[in-house]
Structure 1
């Protein structure tokens, strides 16, 4: 990265010198007859370009880093003006002229100022690019961390289902183990991707609910409604499962009473409207586990769909409701 930046800096400055020299030669071409020879004309214009560029380079690579960036502005100003005075003097050294000196000095002010503007503009662009790259890397690291949190969280809940069935000595336990293996396969494969088909993600939710229904027997009535055209739409993987897990945890799993969970996923104008409503029991079996799912998914939504989602959570006396809208075109 450093070598590339240094190479780019050298190329830009060499290119600027060549361009400036060509502009000086072309701008003074009509006056070339005033010189003793063509070589004298080219030598004069080249030396003119050298003086200008040397002053600019001294400013860029010495004065700005050592004095300006360290907020030693007064000393920076004195040295910059001094370097321009010296440059103007060296240019007219062989043919001294007050008018020529001031012309050269003010021309140096103009070119150095233009060079400074270009320098700070490029530097700010590089800083913004580096900051954007850092933010991108930080975002990717955080998203990977959040994804990794979902994996054991989901596995823990699924193993609880199998444990419950095994304690009941249910003949469906082997089948449930196979279903869980399919769910885990999808979960592991999808976690490596940035997005998956919405259709596949909703099928995953359906299969997970089927597994949970077997464990909960007839204590929980689940309704899952899907509406709209899903074809081609994609969503970040494992983004919706925490809402379903939360509904189970604070509904059917926390009581022996009958409970209900109503889930709907509707697509309108490429926007997913996802809703989960679960009944709340009158008596709750306290869990020692503290859920991370909702906080995790809130953070992921903010990172993945900034200004492109709306999340509303209502915790009422008899029901818990989640309404999520995501613009899937983002």
Structure 2
């Protein structure tokens, strides 16, 4: 495929600029060019102008950028006078002697060529500066994109051990209270871990796959908490049918996990209500859970919510809304995501 990218090389781009500027500069002379020699004369004349611009761009302009202004202006005037003199001599003796034969003064001719050199120099220099700025901007955007992708992978790598840490804590708790249920929970945890590892290499996963992962997680939580927590889990049928839509993996599970982790109460009804629906290519997640008793609150690393907010901002900037509100008894989480709207991937 590299042979088709020659147009991105600096040599090709400069050739295009040379041809385009030659055509524009000599446009008013095209009607007078009757022979090949006329074209050669025009090409030589423009090449000197272009060479003056390149000399200024590569050797003189860096002096200006380095704030060596006196040296810059001195060398600029000298080089422009030299090229102007060469152009006037060519015009006088070879390219257009008829102009001076009609009484055109040498001083006026010199001034014309001097101004022409200045105009062409700064015109061509401006084109290269714009191209250089565009190239630098593109590289900066590519660097920012690469940094964003690295950050996403880092956050994903953070999320996996954070999730497993909580799962193994749950497994340990069940093994103490009801050892007979431990083997079944280990199998469910194995399925969760398999999905975690497989999705970790993907930018997007299908909606049914992500929902199946949440199904398994909630089933494992149901095994752990038994009848102590009232769990309501509703996924509308049209959501499970969204096979042509994708979502960033492990976006939803963090909110579901937090609902179970931070809802434990012994003084009121312990509940977790989860509803997932889809409307016009948008996925909506509604979660309500009981406010926890202070003495039963599970210590939190804080990684989960920080992680998901950062991932949502990077992946779905302007295409999502996440809100969390609470009162004395209920904590409410609302999330909507515009599906298939990943900024990366």
TM-score calculated relative to the size of structure 1: 0.87
Distance 1:226 1:78, change over 3 A: farther
Q: In the superposition, relative to structure 1, how do residues 110 and 283 fare at CA in structure 2: closer, same or farther (>3 Å)? A: closer
Look up the match of 1:82.
78
The one-character-per-residue Cα deviations of 1:15-61 (angstroms, maximum 9, x if unpaired) are: 4445555666775455568xxx965x455333312210111101221
Show the counterpart of 2:109.
100
* Distance in 2 between residues matched to 1:108 and 1:275, nearest whole Å: 69
User: Secondary structure of the residue that 1:193 maps to in structure 2?
Assistant: coil
Match of 2:102 in 1: none
Q: Which residue of 2 aligns with 1:247?
A: 259
Q: Per-residue displacement from partner, 1:229-273 (whole Å, max 9, x unpaired)? A: 231221100001111111111113x65864100111111111111
Q: How does 1:53-72 map to 2 (within 5 A)?
A: 53-64=50-61, 66-72=62-68
- Equivalent residue of 1:173, what SS? helix
Which sections of structure 1, spanning at least 5 residues, go unmatched? none
CA distance in 2, matches of 1:197, 1:235: 6
Deviations 1:254-296 (A, max 9, x none): 6586410011111111111111111013443244442310011
Indicate the residue corresponding to 2:238 in structure 1. 229
8 A Cα contact 1:228 1:267, kept in partner: no
Alignment of 1:54-203 (within 5 A): 54-64=51-61, 66-73=62-69, 75-93=71-89, 95=92, 97-203=106-212
Matches of 2:213 and 2:84 in 1, distance apart?
A: 76
Q: Aligned runs of 1:37-52 on 2, under 5 Å?
A: 39=37, 41=38, 44-52=41-49
Distance in structure 2 (CA, Å) of the matches to 1:251 and 1:29: 82
Report the RMSD for the aligned CA atoms in angstroms: 2.7
Counterpart-to-counterpart distance in 1, 2:27 and 2:180: 93
Aligned residues: 321
Which residue is equivalent to 1:311? 322
Structure 2 unaligned segments of length 5 or more: list them: 93-104
Are 2:63 and 2:71, in contact at CA under 8 Å, matched by a contact in 1?
Answer: yes
Structure 1 counterpart SS, 2:332: strand
* 1:216–1:31 CA distance, 2 compared to 1 (3 A): closer
Name 1:10's counterpart in structure 2: 11
Q: TM-score scaled to structure 2, two decimals?
A: 0.84
Q: Which of 267, 273, 287 lines up with 1:276 in the alignment? A: 287
Q: Which aligned pairs between 1:249-264 and structure 2 lie closer than 5 A?
A: 249-252=261-264, 258-264=269-275
Match of residue 99 from structure 2: none
Deviation of the 1:14 alpha carbon? 3.6
Taking the TM superposition and a 5 Å limit, the aligned residue runs for 1:205-220 are 205-220=214-229
- Tell me, what secondary structure is at the counterpart of 1:223? strand
Aligned-partner SS, 1:284: helix
